[in-house]
Amino acid sequence: MPSSNYEKAMSQAKLPYTAVARTSQEMSSQHVRFAHEQHLSEAADIEESELFDMPARRTDTMEGADNDALYYAVSLGARRRTRKGRVFWVTVLSLVIVSVVGMVWLYFDGISWMQRSKKRNVILMISDGFGPASETMARNYVQQINDLPIDFKSPLDEILVGSSRTRSKSSLVTDSAAGATAFSCLIKTYNGAIAVAEDKLPCGTVLEAAKLQRGMYTGLVATSRITHATPASFSSHVTHRDMEDLIAEYQIGNYSLGPVVDLMFGGGRCHFMPNRHANVSCRMDARDLWSEAQAAGFHTLSTRKQFDALDAHSAAKSLPILGAFAPSHMEYEIDRDATTQPSLAEMSAKALGILDAATKKKNAGFFLMIEGSRIDMAAHTNDPAAHLRDIIAYWDAISVVRKFVDEHPDTVLISVSDHETGGFSTAKQLTPEYPEYLWNPRALEHVRHSIEYISYKLLAQPTNDLEVRYKYVRDTVFADWLGIKDAKHAEVIAVAKESESIKLRQLLSDAISNRAQIGWATHGHSAVDVNLYAYGKDAHLLRGNKENTDIGQFIVDQLGLDLGKVSGKIKADRVVQGTRAIKETWLGRRDLDALEHHPSTH
């Protein structure tokens, strides 16, 4: 046939036939044999019946042309082999380059990009002032009072993954401001610093970065003033924690980033109210931040009724929300009136419902910080019963959040303390003799009020008549409020006579702690490592003993954040309050006997 593989090979040639070099017939026969054996080109695939079995009458006239054509075909095959080899190595080299570039991209930005492209919820729970011995005390109490098996585990025990170190830049013993800044900014700073570095320049926080870089919704829940050290360290930048008037300004968006907190539940309304409202304000100026917040689009809440009326789906459409349910700190759990203030668990559940609804159809999740603030304050007062009840309230909040995590596998819960408070121990030596081991949880069972509440009531007594005060202390304070039926005369008379708040609180602390055989080493903080708990997505990455800055680093890694970029945006923002700051005059806290803590009594 005139149409053959041979002709096809020739028709594909780019050069004219005459341009192909010729060789002797002897060499051409070797080329034919080589090409046929290797099958490396289309010309080599020419069927023998077409190439070699031609009629004898055509052999003489075609022999020269056949040999030249075959040589060309073989030569073409060799050229193609070279080209194929070249393509192979170019492909390999390209793959190597792409792989190297890909690994570099993944290392520097790709992992962050992939993390940003996935929905994540991060819930950081901070149990302020809650050390390992306090967890033991609460577990022992609940197990014994409720006659539970001795292997009972609390909601925290079940998710223990390690421990956290707590030191600050300026001391082996941190305060809450530096402790929270380690979580929020990933840096060690000086005690008292609120999201500023040692040089007093603002540092970007994980909350701010989550909002700006991932478009996440953000929230703060606390039982302290929402302007207090821990929530402040995620949402503001001041050189000292006492500058709560300026902290409040940050929290409603009065700085270069604008509003970055979508939801705030807690106490502290007094720092948002103008000083002309003496009974409900603790600001040093006339600014009405409550009204400014409303003008900026915040939906504001101040009552339990308003809180209860919040529906998650409708509230999600009216963010941002500022709920401040007390002029100053919210009440201890042991004192809380459930008709006027929500619990930590209730605020946590409401916040989770709202933020979940807000992010339901979005790729971005939310960042929520929840603080059991008053665990710490009870320990400052060496008040074991108030300390205990706030720990159990924190457990309730943990249970709420764990349930949410179970239903949302893209969520991680981290629970950690900023430090331990009180140098607390479940032991106390009452005599010079070798002590008996008699830690007694039941001594705390019938305590009905905090030492803070009791001392305020005692100091507010209208009479100085010692006989009247003695009877009040014996029958109301000891028997009714502390559950102590065997009070000694010396104890009662000492309390009845005392008029100084700090000394009075110490007398009340001793009365309870001695009977429970609970020990306290300090009214301040200690340097002890604190427990670290985690549950949900990638919780295993927190196993072991961690620096407190590692907690923040975990959040940054989970969300793919760049705090340095945020720091650059806020470096010129004001970090010093223009008016005088209210100093926390006792034990690192504002004196809790101040009127703003007890608005219902005046």
Tell me the β-bridge partners of 413: 123, 535
Q: Give me 443's structure tokens.
A: 């001594």
At residue 546, φ and ψ (nearest 5 deg) are -120, 150
How far is the C-alpha of 458 from the C-alpha of 337, rounded, in Å? Answer: 20
Q: Give φ, ψ of 436 to 5 degrees.
A: -85, 150
Alpha-carbon radius of gyration of the chain = 38
Angstrom CA distances, 523 to 448, 499, 502, 512, stand at 22, 20, 11, 16
Task: Give the number of other CB atoms < 10 A from CB of residue 78.
Answer: 16
User: Are 525 and 419 spatial neighbours (Cβ–Cβ below 8 Å)?
Assistant: yes
Exposed (0-12), middle (13-18) or buried (19+): which is 107, by Cβ within 10 Å?
Answer: exposed
Amino acid occupying residue 535? Y
Are 456 and 593 contacting, i.e. CB atoms less than 8 angstroms apart? Answer: yes
CA distance 501 to 473: 15
Write down how long the chain is: 602
In sequence order, the β-bridge partners of residue 103 are none
329 and 223 Cβ atoms separated by less than 8 Å: yes
Taking the C-alpha atoms of residue 434 and residue 457, their distance in angstroms, rounded to an integer, is 38
Could you confirm whether 176 is annotated as catalytic?
Answer: yes
Marked catalytic residue, from 176, 224, 348, 455: 176
Q: Which residues of 11-45 are buried (b: 16+ CB within 10 A; e: fewer)?
A: eeeeeeeeeeeeeeeeebeebbeebbeeebbbbbb
Burial (CB count <10 Å: 0-12, 13-18, 19+), residue 360: exposed
Distance from the Cα of residue 52 to its chain's centroid: 82
Q: What are phi and psi of 414, to 5 degrees?
A: -120, 130
268: left (phi over 0), alpha (psi -120 to 50) or beta: left
Catalytic residues: 176
